[in-house]
Amino acid sequence: MICLHLAVVNLTLIDLPGLTKVVVEGQAESIVQDIENMVRGFIEKPNCIILAISPANQDLATSDAIKICREVDPKGERTFGVLTKIDLMDQGTNAVDILEGRSYRLQFPWIGVVNRSQADINKSVDMIAARRRERGYFANSPEYKHLASKMGSEHLGSNCEQNYMYTYCNVRNHILKLEQDIELLKAEAERKVEFSSDAIEETPEDIECVESGSSSNFKLLRLQ
């Protein structure tokens, strides 16, 4: 038996449904808001990497994915823009302006991918062959060959791993800072309790306090 230890990042992929705007027959009237709430419940988490997937053959300005990502991750520290269906764009058009960040800039560069078609799935085209064809598409396309090394599903996976480590370190550092703050607050609280206990033990039961010419009696009570 041969055992291989692969140094890979432990990532959990969650395939969320696309945001919808129209309630179709048989669906609950609240389906639009229910889906948005569910999506937000995941992508608002600071340890979540967001893949904002938009089809290249549609207007990016109407992308619901980009809109909601800007709301939950305004600095773009966890968001990757993924452009699909590049191979299905109308003849004479291309997605270079988007991929190079001129149409809409993200903190991380856009990544274009070419997925299997339904016909490929029906023909049982495996993922190895699909990735090989994807690499060939970008490498041989006149519009995209200068971007080929930064395109494709494999490059996307590599970037997700790197971003995960960046996000993980930020979250870990934040937790460590919180732990330090908690320890400081705990020590300060213990010091105050100790000081109060000493003061109570050393203070006479009755204290005469002169305030505005009047005399008042105070009693200190120890809380059990």
CATH class of 31-172: alpha beta
| Distance of alpha carbon 99 from alpha carbon 56, whole angstroms | 10
| Distance of alpha carbon 166 from alpha carbon 77, whole angstroms | 9
pLDDT in tens, the chain (224 residues): 344 444 555 677 888 888 888 888 888 889 999 999 999 999 998 878 888 999 998 888 888 888 899 999 998 888 889 999 999 898 889 999 999 989 888 888 899 999 988 888 899 989 999 999 999 999 999 999 999 999 999 988 888 777 766 666 666 666 777 788 888 888 888 888 877 766 555 555 544 444 444 443 433 333 33
| Distance of alpha carbon 137 from alpha carbon 115, whole angstroms | 11
